[in-house]
């Protein structure tokens, strides 16, 4: 089974089993991680599922689309590897990926 490692804001790590076609947001929430707020429920209308991705060597991911980029533009902690977990569907090629939850923005988005 393909898995990824999630690091929470306090530095705690856990391994999460992925499922092809399911968004990272849903996989993280189903694993019981409450600090990934996902306020809009995955409709790409906020940035409360902002994460930093580190992909396995040799694996590439499609760039963020225009809607995701608009939402990430509101995130004060955006980095080169920032993505919204609701916009990424897990795929077994992501096995070994590392995800860190971004700091919470003061605005809540």
pLDDT at 109: 45
What's the token pair of residue 108? 């809540």
User: Which of 4, 10, 85 has its CA nearest to residue 40?
Assistant: 85
89-104 pLDDT tens trace: 999 999 999 999 999 8
Confidence of residue 105 (pLDDT cuts 50, 70, 90): confident
Separation between Cα atoms, residue 19 and residue 91, nearest integer Å: 7
Q: What is the DSSP string of 72-102?
A: HHT-TT--TTEEEGGG-B--GGGTTEEEEEP
Task: Count how many Cα atoms sit within 13 Å of the Cα of residue 41 in the half-sphere of its side chain.
Answer: 0
Q: Is the pLDDT of residue 108 over 50?
A: no
Separation between Cα atoms, residue 67 and residue 60, nearest integer Å: 20
26-64 pLDDT tens trace: 999 999 999 999 999 999 999 999 999 999 999 999 999
> What are the Cα distances from residue 13, in Å, to 5, 10, 35?
7, 9, 13
């Amino acid at each position: 089974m393909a898995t990824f490692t999630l690091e929470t804001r306090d530095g705690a790590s856990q391994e999460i089993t992925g499922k092809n076609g399911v968004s990272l947001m849903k996989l993280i929430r189903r694993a019981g991680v409450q600090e990934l707020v996902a306020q809009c429920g995955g409709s790409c209308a906020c940035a409360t599922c902002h994460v930093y991705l580190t992909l396995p060597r040799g694996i590439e991911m499609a760039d963020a689309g225009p809607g995701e980029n608009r939402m990430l533009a509101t995130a004060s902690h955006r980095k080169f590897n920032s993505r919204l977990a609701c916009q990424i569907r897990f795929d077994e090629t992501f096995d070994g990926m590392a995800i860190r939850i971004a700091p919470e923005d003061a605005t809540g988005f």
